[in-house]
Amino acid sequence: MNGKLVLANGQEFPGKLSGACKPAMGEVVFTTGMTGYWETITDPSYAGQMVTMTYPIQGNYGVNEISGESGQVWAKGLIVREFCQYPSHYLSQGSFEDFLRTHQVTAISELDTRALVRVLRNHGVMNGIIVDDTVSKEDALYMLSHLEAKDYVPEVACKVAHEIAGNGTHVAVMDFGAKNNILRMLKGLGCRITVFPPHATAEEILAIQPDGLLLSNGPGAPEFRVEAIETVRQLAGKLPIAGICLGHQIIALAMGAKTYKLSFGHRGGNHPVKELATNRVRMTSQNHGYAVDLRSMEDTELEVTHVQINDHTVEGLKHKRLPMKSLQYHPEGSPGPQDSAFYFEDFVRFFRESKV
């Protein structure tokens, strides 16, 4: 079935409908990863978004039950150049396109993704809608005009606290949509993990006497996390605190800095980041549309530890006095390089050795 993507600015991109073949709309973003389509659409941070895959062919290694970053697909839609019809991988349990159809995920293929990405790079990410080609542009824009901003964290995060058994360092994780691999990495280090919902209070977290608190990734604007920002503010100096992605931004806001929305964000597995203490550059996995405002940190006790090579945005920070540090990028990868996976050992050691 022929279809099209209609952007909020009125531009249309023709293609072929796949998957659910029903209208879908959300913020249209792009990721530059050459692999990782399965991890991408199941990453809770993509909730509410229509993901454009810049690599031209998707689905070449099929799908399986063990590589997802959550228990379901969170992306609102998928935009690709071409689907592979004959996947090949020893773990493959079927084709990606068939999976999208079975799970009623709307996708569009045979679309000029290079042209679409040029628009998003030049004008910034914007809302869009996938419809069949019989729908007029005017009707598509009318439907798109009714798309309301939504806070997805309550949907993607856990609802009640729960524990993952372990005999080592006791880590409290504040879940805003934590990827499976974050918990998997901590478990692999022998940690005892208590996962808290995003509305957990400082008193609830302190009551379990954890060695440290890790703030997870998640979707949406960090300013929405008013409760979590206040919780971090109350816990500062009482617990070692670390953050990843959205968790990094929440720490910055709690300590008096500000955040802002990037024009088209950083998404993919090939983003170079420099660690200022060593001048070492590592390739990183990233998925964020917001960043910490460097100038807003001047009147705080925060200092930058990592920067993005391409645009010099803040990729890591620490508190000058309190046990608190964070990374904007994803050290757990999935998808993406494992260059920074050692940071989980660093976090655990930080929790265990910090004095409060």
Q: Is 170 annotated in the active site?
A: no
The one-letter amino acid code at 207 reads: A
Round to whole Å and give the CA distance between 55 and 137.
27
- The H or E element that residue 316 is part of is strand 314-319
Q: Tens of pLDDT along 118-166?
A: 999 999 999 999 999 999 999 999 999 999 989 999 999 999 999 999 9
In the set 97, 170, 245, 248, the catalytic residue is 245
Model pLDDT, residue 255: 98
The matching CATH number, chosen from 3.40.50.800, 2.10.109.10, 1.10.10.1100, 3.40.50.880, for 153-353 is 3.40.50.880
| 245 catalytically annotated | yes
Cα separation of 157 and 74, whole Å?
12
For this structure, is 332 an active site residue? yes
Q: Do domains 2-144 and 153-353 have the same CATH topology?
A: no
**What string of DSSP letters covers 99-135?**
HHHHTT-EEEES--HHHHHHHHHHH--EEEEEEETTS
| DSSP percent split of the chain into helix, strand, coil, nearest 5 | 25, 35, 40
pLDDT attached to residue 92: 93
Please report, for the chain, the start and end positions of each structural domain, with discontinuous segments joined by +: 2-144, 153-353
Q: Does position 65 have pLDDT exceeding 90, yes or no?
A: no
Mean pLDDT confidence for 224-230: 97
In one-letter notation, the amino acid at residue 193 is I
DSSP of 24-90, one letter per residue? EEEEEEEE--SS-HHHHHT-GGGTTEEEEE-SSEE-TT---SSS-SSSS---SEEE-SEE-SS---T
Position 67 scores a pLDDT of 85
pLDDT band at 243 (very low <50, low <70, confident <90, very high): very high
CA 20 – CA 7 distance, rounded (Å): 20
| pLDDT of the residue at 204 | 98
Mean pLDDT computed over 291-306: 97
Residue type at 173? V
Please provide the distance, in angstroms rounded to a whole number, between the alpha carbons at the two ends of the chain. 61
Report residue 321's pLDDT band, with 50, 70 and 90 as the boundaries: very high
Dihedral sign computed on CA atoms, order 158, 244, 262, 113: negative
**Token pair in block for residue 94:** 């079927």
Mean pLDDT of the chain: 96
Record: fold of 2-144: Glucose Oxidase; domain 1 (3.50.30)
Above 90 in pLDDT, residue 66? no
Question: Annotated catalytic residue: which of 27, 69, 97, 332?
Answer: 332
Confidence label for 355 from pLDDT (cuts 50, 70 and 90): confident
Residues linked to residue 43 through DSSP beta bridges, in sequence order: none
